[in-house]
Structure 1
Amino acid sequence: MASSGKELELAIKIAGKVESSFTGALSAAAKEITSLTKTMTAATTAAAAAVGAIAVAAVNVGKEFESAMSQVQATMLIDTSTEEGAAAYATLEEAARECGRSTAFSATEAAEALNYLALAGYDADKAATALPTVLRLAGAGAMDLAAASDMVTDSMSALQIEATEENLNSFADQMAQTASKANTSVAQLGEAILTVGATGANLAGGTTELNTALGILADNGLKGAEGGTHLRNVILSLQSPTDKAAEALNNMGISVYDAKGNMRGLSDIFGDLNTAMASMTQAEKDNVIGTIFNKTDLTSANALLANCTDRWDELSVAIENSAGACEDMYGIQLDNLDGDIKILQSGLADLGISIYQDLNGPLRSMTQLATSMVGELSAAYSEGGLEGMGSALLAAAFPRL
């Protein structure tokens, strides 16, 4: 019996310890569960907020892109209800989005550039083909994509250059090379070309000669529209000389045109002029130059005279062999952290457009429904004031009542 009493006492003590341990374990578990619940709630809240922020950002990016593409569609008068129109729009959209996926320019910026190409008369296929070249030139010249698009199309049109892919690539490469080898920028060079306009369309050496002359003027401080204006005036002075200028040229045996009636190269004309004036005093040279060219263009004429041999040949050869220059220059401009960040941002924007396109249908339906309801409430208010509008609200909220 004594033994049984001791065993019972021991059992009670063990049970008490077990109960205490079990209660402690339950209490600890409860604390862990509470902590885990709080963590999960916080994580869920944060995830929901993040998803909401992504959705908002996607809507903002997507609607901007959609609006820009609608402008392109309107400019080209594309009817997407037809098979042909839908295909044209798809071509343009994919071209713009490809820019967003793989370059420092966003899809929306690319769409804006497409609109400038459309304004220049490019159709969907031609605009989509031209876009990557315009993009590289904009990147090479650190220019706004839409501005670069406008500049290229206007420049080529002014020079009467057909807008083929080959011509566009060559034109962009020459501009990039000139900006690299002379003291000018792509934007300044484009401005100069636009100012020269059709006057430079028939130069013997084509765009190589035009870029060379503008590069030399830029080296001498005459850039952008100023350089273009002076070069245009110099060309016109040679093409349509005054009576005194024609007499001076004739007396020196200098021909502006060849036997077939085509204008000779500027370097040849200025080279002959240098040779003819070799034995003259400075005063006599100044008099001859002042007779042939306008007084406001004497600095330009003298710059071309001084650089019509070695420097002309050096720059001309570089421009003539400029294939790939635009892409190379563009790559160098982006080979840094800022370029990496811009490419990342463009990629994220394209992701946003994808998300937006999935949300677009429901969002438009909801917006159109809300617009319709606002119209009905407005009509109800006009007819019955606040009471009428309240009745309309109740009818909309509880249609079965």
Structure 2
Amino acid sequence: MADHTINVRIGATITDLTRELNQAQSRLEDFGSRLSNMGRSIAMGFGVMTTGLGAVVGSSVKEAMNFEQQMSNVKAVSGATGSEMAKLSKLAEDLGAKTKYSAVEAGQGIEELMKAGVSTADILNGGLAGALDLATAGELDLSEAAEIASTALNAFRNDNLSVTDAANMLAGAANASATDVHELKYGLSMVSAVASGVGLSFKDTSTALAVFAQNGLKGSDAGTSLKTMLLNLTPASEAAYGQMLDLGLITKDGSSIFYDAQGNIKSFAEMSQILQDKLKGLTKEQQQAALKTMFGTDAVRAANIMMKEGAKGADAMWKSMSKVTAAEVAAEK
């Protein structure tokens, strides 16, 4: 009986020991599996980190190569000296850090300005910053902003404008009226050559386009209408001559009162006031017939707006345009 009891106890003990050993082995295998998974995760994380770091380094290297290539393009266009190129490169890098544009894009802006004839000195002394501000304010590509600014500088060369001056007037016109810089570009492309040819300033031309836009005449239509009217300030037909003579817009010796004694065209505000004063005594029907006879069916649009606004409207628009700069509009946007 005692031997049987001993056998039962020993068997039970061995069974328990076996079960505990099996559980211990299972726990050990589970720990090993988790440790192995952890090792794989660490390896994978390190691989991702390494890949990401490699991508960043690769992107930086590519950006640096693109910048070097862009500045080589600038040198080829400008023929700038080594010292000038160093200054231009630093300018592009500085503005690339301060604005929403990259250093490469700033370099492209330099290239576009140089292609348009803007000097290295002007670019270094605020020209590039002005073009970047205009691009941001007008929501334009840098190349388009540089093109618009350079058009103003080249067409209105006698105004001695800087890129910043042109940018401020264009941004101001867009900010003060129902137009944008993109539409102003098309207006300027139509009228610039004639406006500068008759002696109208860029200030007056941009003010005129802003006034027209506020009255629903925009883009190339505005530029074409103003161009045609400026050409017809000197009567092109006997009928136009007779109408202008009757209204007192030209004297008996043939001199136009739209020009001063020295033969210089008067300001946009002065011309607008002349039209308002000379036609105010007529009925609406007579006014339209007279404007059509003097300026033609295209330019009658510009003439109507000028007659309506007078000097008061023109001066108010310029005052509103002058309240902001391109830099301020760009900063706001």
TM-score normalised to the size of structure 2? Answer: 0.80
Task: Supply the distance in 2 between the matched residues of 1:54 and 1:160 (Cα, whole angstroms).
Answer: 46
Whether the 8 Å CA contact 1:200–1:232 is kept in 2: the answer is: yes
Q: Percent identity?
A: 23
Structure 2 residue aligned with 1:77, among 52, 59, 79?
79
Partner of 2:326: 326
Instruction: Establish whether residue 246 from structure 1 lines up as the match of residue 241 from structure 2.
Output: yes
Alignment check: 8 A CA contact 1:152 1:190 kept: no
Question: CA–CA distance in 1 between the matches of 2:56 and 2:215?
Answer: 52
Question: Which of 116, 119, 134 matches 1:137?
Answer: 134
What's 1:56 paired with? 58
Contact 1:160 1:198 in 2 (8 A): no
Give the counterpart letter for 1:332 in structure 2.
Answer: E
Q: State the alpha-carbon separation in 2 of the partners of residues 32 and 278 from structure 1.
A: 95
**1:181 aligned to 159, 171, 176, which one?**
176
Q: Which amino acid aligns with 1:101?
A: A
Aligned to 2:10: none
Per the alignment, do residues 223 and 92 of structure 1 end up closer, same or farther by CA in structure 2, a change over 3 Å counting? Answer: same
Within 1, Cα distance between the matches of 2:169 and 2:198? 16
Q: Which runs of 5+ in 1 are unaligned?
A: 1-19, 79-84, 334-401
Indicate whether 1:103 and 2:99 are aligned. Answer: yes
* CA displacement at 1:52 relative to structure 2: 1.7
SS in 1 for 2:178: coil
CA offset digits 1:82-110 (Å, max 9, x no partner): xxx22222222112222221111122221
Amino acid at match of 1:99: L
Specify the alignment match of 1:159 in structure 2: 156
TM-score, normalised relative to structure 1:
0.68
User: Which of 182, 185, 191 is matched with 2:186 structurally?
Assistant: 191
Structure 2 residues not aligned, in runs of 5+: 1-20, 250-256
Q: Point out 4+ residue stretches in structure 1 off by more than 6 angstroms.
A: 23-33, 202-205
Q: What one-letter code is carried by the residue in structure 1 that aligns with 2:135? A: A
Q: Structure 2 CA distance, aligned partners of 1:280 and 1:290? A: 14
* 2:248 corresponds to 1:271: no
Call closer, same or farther: CA 1:240–1:113 in 2, change over 3 Å: farther
Aligned mates of 2:299, 2:197 — CA distance in 1:
21
User: Which gives a bigger RCO, structure 1 or 2 (Cα 8 Å, sep 6+)?
Assistant: 1
* Preserved contact between residue 89 and residue 124 of structure 1 (Cα < 8 Å): no
Give the Cα–Cα distance (whole angstroms) in 2 for the partners of residues 296 and 148 of structure 1. 29
Q: Distance in 2 between matches of 1:239 and 1:327?
A: 40
Q: Which amino acid aligns with 1:301?
A: A
Aligned residues: CA RMSD: 2.8
Equivalent pairs counted in the alignment come to 303
Cα 1:152–1:185, aligned 2, differ >3 Å: closer, same or farther? same
User: How far does residue 311 in structure 1 lie from its aligned partner after superposition?
Assistant: 2.2
Q: Call closer, same or farther: CA 1:278–1:31 in 2, change over 3 Å.
A: closer
- The Cα of 1:314 is off from its aligned counterpart by 1.1
2:86 corresponds to which of 61, 83, 90: 90
Task: Describe the SS at the equivalent of 1:238.
Answer: coil
> Which stretch shifts more, 169-178 or 179-188?
169-178
Match of 1:281 in 2: 283
Q: How many angstroms does 1:275 deviate by?
A: 2.6
Q: Distance in 1 between matches of 2:70 and 2:57?
A: 20
Q: Contact between 1:91 and 1:125, CA under 8 Å: does it hold in 2?
A: no
